[in-house]
Structure 1
Amino acid sequence: MSLPETFTMADLSGKFSLNKILTDSAAADRILAGQGVGLLKRKAFNLVSPVMHLKHYKDADGVESVEIEHHLHQGDSPPPETRRMTWVEEDVDTKIFGKIKTKTRRVALTDLDDSDSFLTTGWETDCASLIQSDLYADKWTSVQVWGIEEVESGERRHTRRVKFTQTDKGGGVVHCRFVYDYLGSV
């Protein structure tokens, strides 16, 4: 389902489901494999349709944050994760990837590194700002840019463009655009 016209990057709050038809599943699988997720878990991921609840807010100190709750139809849901938009590196212990480092910020399109056009093209022109979230582990890095795009069907969708770089095993880069269906408000 497409985003309502009133939905903007100023408030990402809502319920979203990964659209597996519009998302490059092969690239997503290569990213999960590069992050050390085993074959059985990757196959299980392809069988479920996880739903994300995003709560976008400012805390008592005025720090903008997005809390992400992943809801799986069956099995264990991981604990919520919070992305604080301070561009300060934080240590996070995740259920799937183990210990990683992350930093997140709000950016204008012109502030993104334009050496990789995959991350900088396709966004709505009236998108005032995007969210960049960088994740680091011992063997990989992932740069994510979140925003709003018109996808193949001409519908406005929340998307995340990911540049995944394998830093061990000879390296390698995988690009993937994750496309989400809007399910309504939280």
Structure 2
Amino acid sequence: MALPATFTTLDISGKFQQNKSLSDDMDEILSLQGVGWVIRKALKAANGSLTIKHTTDANGVEQLVIETSVGGGVAGGTEAVPLDWQERAKADGPMGPTIGKGRKIAIADVTEAYLKEGWVVDANQGGVFNIVMKSDTAKTGKSWTNEQIWGIQEIDGVKRFVRRIHFVGSKGEKINARVVFDYLGSA
């Protein structure tokens, strides 16, 4: 389902479900991140959804609280992503230990060409979300980076919530992918 006409990145709270027909296949990225074959196949078969609560804490720092429901035998979870560009370690999940950070950024300040493409300027007036996750190489022996921009794009004439991903693997593999979400309603 399309986003409401009033939906902007000033508040992305809502319930979303991945639209697999509009999204790119994530199998190669997940494989390079160390996610096992069985979990990758379960993720491909699952009909995952997100509930995002976009809040601001007492110090004025925006935060995304993301509840993931995966299905297909893969557990979901809840994760808080403060948008303060501070690195934080995370030890759980199918990718093993990771380090991540997030912020809001103007589209003009996005440096990777693929990540800059296709954003609806008026709907992203509050900036887009820049989320970077990388392997905790000291703990995993792997070295990869997954940079994402989250925001609103128009696809086939319909405004949708989208994640654009630029992944760099340990051997320099570069993969660009797009994950598109259908809007299910308010959070």
Q: TM-score range by the shorter chain?
A: over 0.9
CA offsets per residue over residues 47-102 of structure 1, 9 Å max, x none?
A: 11011000100112221000111113353533311110001111112321111111
- Mapping for residues 31-110 of structure 1, pairs under 5 Å: 31-110=29-108
- Does residue 1:133 correspond to 2:134, yes or no? no
- Which contiguous aligned blocks of 4+ residues in structure 1 show a shift greater than 3 angstroms? 73-76
User: Identity over aligned residues, as a percent?
Assistant: 37
- For residues 171 and 112 of structure 1, what CA distance do their matches in structure 2 show? 21
Contact 2:150/2:163 (<8 A) preserved: yes
Give the equivalent residue in structure 2 for 1:119: 115
| Unpaired runs of at least 5, structure 1 | none
In the alignment of these two chains, the number of paired residues is 179
CA offsets per residue over residues 116-169 of structure 1, 9 Å max, x none?
A: 321111000212110101101022101000010001x210000010000002xx
- For residues 60 and 88 of structure 2, what CA distance do their matches in structure 1 show? 18
| Unpaired runs of at least 5, structure 2 | 138-142
Give the equivalent residue in structure 2 for 1:154: 157
Give the equivalent residue in structure 2 for 1:163: 166
- For residues 78 and 93 of structure 1, what CA distance do their matches in structure 2 show? 15
Structure 2 counterpart SS, 1:133: strand
- Does residue 1:5 correspond to 2:9, yes or no? no
Q: CA RMSD in A?
A: 1.2
**TM-score, length-normalised on structure 2?**
0.92
Contact 1:63/1:84 (<8 A) preserved: yes
Structure 1 counterpart SS, 2:77: coil
